[in-house]
Amino acid sequence: MKCPDCGATMKHGIVKNFETGPTLGLQSVIVTNMPASVCPKSSKHEVLVPGAMLDQLQAELACFLLSESFRLTGDQVRFLRKSVGLTQAELAARLGTSRVSVNRWENSRAERPAAESIAIRGIVSAAQTKPIGWISDRFLQNLLNAPTKRPKQLRIDSKSLGFASR
Q: Identify the pLDDT of residue 140.
A: 45
Residue ranges of the chain with pLDDT lower than 70? 28, 43-50, 129-158, 160-166
Q: Identify the pLDDT of residue 149.
A: 45
Dihedral in degrees, nearest 10, Cα atoms 93, 68, 126, 131: 160
Residue span of the structural domain in which 132 resides = 11-161
Residue 6 lies in a domain: no
Residue 141 lies in a domain: yes
Residues 6+ apart with CB under 8 A from 129: none
98 vs 112: CA distance, rounded Å: 13
Residue 100 lies in a domain: yes
Residue 5 lies in a domain: no
User: Measured on CA atoms in the order 104, 66, 139, 153, is the torsion positive or negative?
Assistant: negative
Report the CATH number that the domain containing residue 51 is assigned in CATH: 1.10.260.40
Number of domains in the chain: 1
Residue 166 lies in a domain: no
**Quick check: 20 and 29 in contact, CB under 8 A?**
yes
Residue 1 lies in a domain: no
Residue 3 lies in a domain: no
Instruction: Assign 127 to helix, strand or coil.
Output: helix
Q: Identify the pLDDT of residue 89.
A: 95
pTM: 0.69
Could you read off the pLDDT of 23-53 as tens digits, one per residue? 777 776 787 887 777 777 775 555 666 677 7
Instruction: Assign 41 to helix, strand or coil.
Output: coil
Instruction: Assign 14 to helix, strand or coil.
Output: strand
142 vs 137: CA distance, rounded Å: 9
Residue 151 lies in a domain: yes
96 vs 121: CA distance, rounded Å: 15
